[in-house]
Amino acid sequence: MRPWVNDENVALFTDLYELTMLQAYFKENMQETAVFDLFMRKLPKERNYLIAAGLESVLDYLEQLHFTEEALDYLDSLGKFAPDFLDYLRDFRFTGNVYAIPEGTPVFEQMPLIEIEAPIGQAQLIETFLLNQVTHQTLMASKGARVVHAARGRAAVDFGMRRMHGTDAAIKAARAFYIVGMPATSNVLAGQIYGIPVTGTMAHSYIEAHLDERKAFEAFASLYPDTILLVDTYDTLEGVRKVIEMAHAWGDRFKVRGIRLDSGDLLTLSKEARRMLDEAGLHHLMIFASGGLDEYTIDELLRAGAPIDGFGVGTRLGTSADVPYLDSAYKLVAYGGEGRMKLSQKKATLPDRKQVFRYYDDRGIMVRDVIARYDEALDGEPLLRPVMQNGRRLPDASPSLEEIKTYTQACMKKLPEHLLSLEPAKPRYPVKVSPRLQEEATRLRLHLLTR
């Protein structure tokens, strides 16, 4: 069996206990409606905000979730599942409701990014896939937003696929980075799947195969006139000199857009390269930088005045290297119309279906969020919207990628300035719990402790 995940086998992309619990609910005839919240317990100290992402993957999954005969045969082989339960799985479809904060919205701790309202077994089964996709995509969008901000309007392009964790990570990350404002990716398949612009230059191996750097530049520019030439294979400034010689030799035929530096001290090299290009009258040639970059190094380079016009950002972006995971959770908050909560140390949850209300100041800047019960009518902007009803995606639940990108850019303009710092913000963004929800949680906690 090929190790690819797809619509036919993704129903088994789940922790075993989701299936054993589903069978238990089936056998116990526990079919009442449950509500589960997907949320982040807290934000990493290195993140002042997160950007929600992953909802589209979730809706795609829920809409087509089913068990094939091959999947049922495998489950049967485990010796844990009864024939009547496997029959039930044969007809299994997700029939619940989904409420979600739109992709691209800044989000914070404790608030549900997604709420699932469905018969409890259904809502339970989907936990693993939902956490896997939403955690990763939100992680990537949040890291990408920082890189975009650090680049101060210069292009920051996704070069990360080669060291991301597997193929799915690279496809989904390219989409997340596009949403938060990266103009392009090097990932061709993500380009095909999502219609994201693809970009790239040349590798050192191309220069080395030709041995002669100048000949390699000329061959590549003959085929791709507006290319960017990689100048650091042998000696960076010598490489720049060859580009200048070539520009003079080619005259009007020279359409090269820029050079790329991929190693060494990027500050010194970019300044020296800029000086050389300017002296040669090549003011319009741009300087691109890559190699070990992230928001911290980009910020440092630009603060120091590095004349860099664009960045290729790879591994540290693509693995969110300073924060490689988020503290996400998917928790039961109601069953059969009654609130539920966990009292475990440090992992207690808020009960009941919810709404998140966002408040803005006069200038339209976010000032605080309030997590309330779903049926409270506070005067803030409600963030959770219905996106799926009885297993069917609602119209308007799936904006186009361009619409999501536009929405995300607009949201990011509403973030308080101090949250955009790359350092931990003080104060953190305030997330409150409404008095009514707080009261409900206290009441339920007492009830659970005194039963």
Site for a second copy contains 450 (CB under 8 A): no
Strands 354-360 and 328-335: unpaired
Residue 36 lies near a second copy (rule: CB under 8 A): yes
Show the site string, 125-164: x = touches a second copy by CB under 8 A, - = not. Answer: --xxx-xxx-xx--x-------------------x-xxxx
How near is the Cβ of 305 to a second copy at its closest, in Å?
21
Least distance in angstroms from the C-beta of 94 to a second copy: 17
Q: Distance (Å, rounded) from C-alpha 30 to C-alpha 19?
A: 14
Nearest to 314 by CA among 144, 150, 135, 152: 144
18 within 8 A of 116, measured Cβ to Cβ: no
* Other CB atoms within 10 A of residue 284 CB: 9
> Of 278 and 402, which has the nearer Cβ to a second copy?
402
Looking only at the bridges linking them, the beta strands covering 155-158 and 310-313 are: parallel
Near a second copy by CB under 8 A: residue from 103, 115, 232, 299: 232
- Interface residue with a second copy, options 283, 284, 346, 413 (CB under 8 A): 346
DSSP class of residue 56 equals H
CA–CA distance, 49 with 381 (Å, rounded to integer): 18
227 or 408: CB nearest a second copy: 227
Strand partners, 196: none
Interacting residues with a second copy between 168 and 207 (CB under 8 A): 168-173, 175, 186-189, 191-194, 198-206
Query: How many other β-carbons are positioned within 10 Å of the β-carbon of residue 11?
Result: 22
Beta-carbon-side half-sphere exposure of residue 49 (alpha carbons within 13 Å):
30
Among residue numbers 41 through 80, which ones bind a second copy (CB under 8 A)?
A: 57, 60, 71, 74-75, 78, 80
Check binding of 352 to a second copy (CB under 8 A): no
CB of 109 to a second copy, least distance (A): 16
Residue (18 or 376) nearer to a second copy, CB: 18
Print the binding letters for residues 206-225 with a second copy: x by CB under 8 A, - otherwise: x-xx-xx------xx--xx-
The span from the CA of 226 to the CA of 209, in Å, is 21
Question: Sheet containing 328-335: which strands, arranged edge to edge?
Answer: 338-339, 328-335, 33-40, 114-119, 97-100, 385-389, 392-393
Which two three-digit tokens encode residue 106? 């800044």
Considering the complex, what minimum distance in angstroms separates the CB of residue 332 from a second copy? 4
Whose Cβ is closer to a second copy: residue 133's or residue 297's? Answer: 133
Cβ of residue 361: shortest distance to a second copy, in angstroms? 35
* Sole binder of a second copy in the list 122, 320, 355, 408 (CB under 8 A): 320
